[in-house]
A and B are shown apart, each in its own frame.
Chain A
């Protein structure tokens, strides 16, 4: 099993390196609306994954895990996450790949991440009942809202392809 995971994820790290997602310079340029590659790559990867997963589920294989939305905790976490992402130029996944690539600042992001994980885990029992659970609106999907999984998928595709188009229009096209 280890080799199976190893094989598939080796390519995951390799591809995100090749698109430049492990390069904090390129990531900052994406956030500054100068370089469209990374956000377009993410949105398109989701578009194709969603279509692929849709087909996979049609064959009966279903290992999906839908996470709930908590109006307070998800929003607050997303804002804090965006601050850290904008500051460091790393997210948890790219941090591992960037360390492998040999970036020293990613090693510091990694240790900061371990500390952040430890602090959250320590206060988990205090934070989750206060911030997460009261405004937890459940494990909703676009299919639940649209009432039909086909329409749900179409809404996602329209949203995300619209996102790619918007980025193409409003982002600069710097070469990094």
Chain B
């Protein structure tokens, strides 16, 4: 919490209170917020055109609503929030993050291949567990759910270990 005042990023405490206000508001209006379900809704929308017979008997597409639901507006709102956040921010975005460049160089294909694989892993596993950082860990823990607290503890531990293997010991 000892952030430099010159950092363009917000302080932790007020940002956490602001986010909590929105989370409680979403709980009051729709239910637990979730974002990995938005991936299922997106796919379901596409497959509805190309393979309607396929999704009509697949359990996973039956249990998540299609792109007309609030889950879809949620993730699109998330992207728009990111867009406006990025446009009004003093720091430029990089396609290859600095910590990655220091370790693997600035090759874009290498970085894109890694995030593609990472994206695959996080969504495959989120769908297996029933939610992601938001839908299972944050929403779950807010409701005191054991599944959320446990999932959160294990993802942090696994991510900390993985980042050490990927980026090596940093001084």
Contacts and interface: CB of A to CB of B under 8 A. Distances in A.
Interface in B22-46: 22-33, 35-36, 38-40, 42-43
B16 A48 contact: yes
The bracket for how many chain A residues form the interface is 35 or more
Interface string A1-44: 11011111111111111111011111011011110110111101
A118 B136 CA distance: 20
A90 B118 contact: yes
Main secondary structure of the interface of A (DSSP, over half): helix
B14 to A, nearest CB: 10
Nearest to B7: A175
Interface in A54-76: 56, 61, 63-70, 73-76
Interface string A77-100: 111111111111111111111111
A45 B125 contact: no
A16 B19 contact: yes
B123 to A, nearest CB: 4
Contacts of A61: 27-28
Q: Looking at chain B's contact residues, is the secondary structure mostly helix, strand, loop, or mixed?
A: helix
Q: How large is the interface on B (under 10, 10 to 19, 20 to 34, 35 or more residues)?
A: 35 or more
Interface string B49-82: 0000000001111000000001001111111111
Nearest to A112: B119
Nearest to B81: A13
Interface string B153-171: 0111111111111110010
Contact of B43 (A63, A70, A121): A121
Interface of A: 1-2, 4-20, 22-26, 28-29, 31-34, 36-37, 39-42, 44-53, 56, 61, 63-70, 73-106, 108-122, 124-125, 127-128, 131-132, 139-143, 145, 149, 152-153, 156, 159-160, 164, 168, 173, 175-176
Interface of B: 1-4, 6-7, 9-10, 12-13, 15-33, 35-36, 38-40, 42-43, 58-61, 70, 73-86, 89, 93-100, 108, 111-151, 154-167, 170
Smallest CB-CB A-B distances: 3 pairs: A13-B81, A82-B158, A88-B118
